[in-house]
Structure 1
Amino acid sequence: MSGSKVLRSLLHELRQAASDANDMKKSLAARYIRAQYKRLETTDQQFCKARNEAIFLGQTYLTYLSSQRKYNEIYREYHGRGERSVKETADLVGFKLPTDPK
């Protein structure tokens, strides 16, 4: 994954985590990430070990942020809210209840 893709993905995940779109403009994390990527920007003729390390670190944080978001979604979906009806439980696991012919 290239540096610009990692940067866009990181900013997307931060936007997903923010409660308000205006928070991204004020976000210290987003400003820091942009500053680091701008600082380590190189041309095709340069080799920068720090840039490669920054991309790897960015991918690591991206994995963490996306995993945390997915975990929270799953937790909200399946966390026990007390007793469930038989129909709700069947729907949760993908089964259909038999119907009584009348």
Structure 2
Amino acid sequence: MATLSSPLHVCRGILKELRAAQGSKYRQSLAYNYVMDQFRKNKVTGERYCRAQQEAHHAAHTYFCLLSSTRNHLILHNFYHGKGDRSAEQAASLVGLRLPSQPGGKGWEE
């Protein structure tokens, strides 16, 4: 299994994704309260070391990955989809190409 990042990093990442999804009032949401409660409940102290904490950390890291991947998917979906039919020039510029300016011309005319 790959090494997981620190629990604080995962907690901050989850809260960042919640803020991006819900806006500035994310602290009043049930999801925020649940995440903070779970991180406080599964905190490791010097007296104990348990497998449940590692499982909770792995679940939190997986949830963070899900939230960030979903946000990235929506950004890409909105960028590449839903604009209807594009002209040939727009489709060519989307992939980094340029159409000739004059069909049948020699190419140097503007």
Q: TM-score, normalised by structure 2?
A: 0.81
1:12 aligns with 2:16: yes
Counterparts of 2:16 and 2:82, CA distance in 1: 30
In the TM superposition, what whole-angstrom CA distance separates every residue of 1:45-65 from its partner, at most 9, and x where no partner exists?
Answer: 521211111110011111111
SS of match in other structure, 2:93? helix
- When residues 96 and 45 of structure 1 are mapped into structure 2, their CA distance, relative to the original with a 3 A threshold, is farther
Larger radius of gyration: 2
Q: 2: CA distance between counterparts of 1:93 and 1:72?
A: 20
- Greater displacement, 77-86 / 51-60: 77-86
Moved over 3 A (4+): none
Does residue 88 of the first structure (1) align with residue 57 of the second (2)?
no
TM-align CA RMSD: 1.5
Tell me how many residue pairs correspond in the alignment.
100
Q: CA deviation at 1:81?
A: 2.3
- What letter corresponds to residue 21 of structure 2 in structure 1? A
Deviation at 1:88, TM superposition (A): 0.9
* Unmatched segments (≥5 aa) in structure 1: none
Aligned residue number for residue 52 of structure 1:
54
Quickly say closer, same or farther: Cα 1:48–1:83, change in 2 above 3 A. same
> Structure 1 residue 90: deviation in Å?
1.1
Tell me the alpha carbon deviations over residues 15-57 of structure 1, each in whole angstroms, 9 at most, x when there is no partner.
1111x201x1211111101011111112245212111111100
Q: TM-score, normalised by structure 1?
A: 0.87
Q: Which runs of 5+ in 2 are unaligned?
A: 103-108
Corresponding residue of 1:21: 24
Q: 1:74 aligns with which of 54, 57, 76?
A: 76
Structure richer in helix, relative to its length: 1
What percentage of aligned pairs have identical amino acids? 36
